[in-house]
Amino acid sequence: MGTHGEGEPRGDGLTVLVGETEIAARVAELAAAVERDHPPGEPLVIVAVMKGALVFLADLVRRLAMPLRIELVNARSYRGARREATVHILDEVAALPLSGRHVLLLDCVLDSGSTLTALRREIAACGPASLRTCVLLRKAVPREPDVQPEYVGMDIPDVFVVGYGLDHANRWRHLPYVAALGQDAIPEEQER
C-alpha cells in the first residue's frame, strides 16, 4: 500500500487528513505525557472505546513502560455516518475492576463529547483513584466546556473520518492514516 500525504485526495472519495508519520509521532508524545503524569509504579487501567480506538490502543500501549490492564467497552453515538442524539453503552461498565485504580479512558475521536461524558460518568461511579481521558483526534465542533480531555493528539475539522481504526459500514478501518470521507464515497444503501 502506498503512502499518502496530508490533504491528498486518493481518488476514491477519501482525502488524507493525518498521515502515518504524524500519527506515530503524536502517539509517542501522548504516551510520554501519560507516563509523565502517572504515579510511578502504579498500574494503569486503560478503558478503550471499541471498535474505533482499537488501532490507537495497540499503538499507545506498546509505547507505555508501566504495568497496565486493558478493558474494552462498546459504545456508539453514530449510526452509519450520522451522529445520534443518545449514546448507547453496550457493555456493563460497573462490572469492570476500576475501584481504587488509576483509569485512562481512551477514544479515537472527540466530537460532541457525548460518548466521553457518558462513559466518564459510568467510570466515576465505579470509584477510581483517578480518571483521565485521552483522544487521538478532536473535531472542531461546539461542545460542553466540561468535555476537555487531558490528552489530545491533534485537532481536525468537523468531517466524517475513517482509517486508523475508524470506519464507515465496516470499511476503511485498516488504513494506516486518517482520511475525510466524502459524500461520494458513502454507498447508496448506507445513505437511506
What pLDDT digit, counting tens, does each position of 51-91 carry? 999 999 999 999 999 999 999 998 866 554 455 556 666 56
Asked whether residue 123 is assigned to any structural domain, the reply reads yes
The number of folded domains in the chain is: 1
- Please state, in angstroms and rounded to a whole number, the distance separating the CA atoms of residues 35 and 64: 7
Q: How far apart are CA 123 and CA 47, in angstroms?
A: 9
Q: Is 165 domain-assigned?
A: no
151 is a domain residue: yes
**Structural domain harbouring 147:** 21-156
Q: 83-116 in b/e burial notation, b at 16+ Cβ within 10 A? A: eeeebebeeebeebebeebbbbbbbbbbbbbbbb
Note if 111 is an active site residue. yes
What dihedral do alpha carbons 103, 104, 110, 116 form, nearest 10°? Answer: -10
| 190 located within any domain | no
Q: Is residue 94 part of a domain?
A: yes
pLDDT of residue 183: 72
Tell me the C-alpha distance between 54 and 170, whole Å: 13
**According to the model, what pLDDT value does residue 112 have?**
86
Any domain includes 5:
no
Would 126 be classed as within a structural domain? yes
Helix (H, G, I), strand (E, B) or coil at 44: strand
Euclidean distance between CA atoms 167 and 79, whole angstroms: 11
Out of 12, 111, 146, 155, which one is annotated catalytic?
Answer: 111
Give 10-residue mean pLDDT values along the chain (192 residues).
50 88 98 96 95 96 97 74 56 84 96 89 95 97 84 96 93 95 63 33
Judge whether 47 lies within some domain. yes
State phi, psi for 94 to the nearest 5 degrees: -60, -20
pLDDT for res 77 = 65
CATH number at residue 76: 3.40.50.2020
Alpha carbon 37 to its chain's center: 20
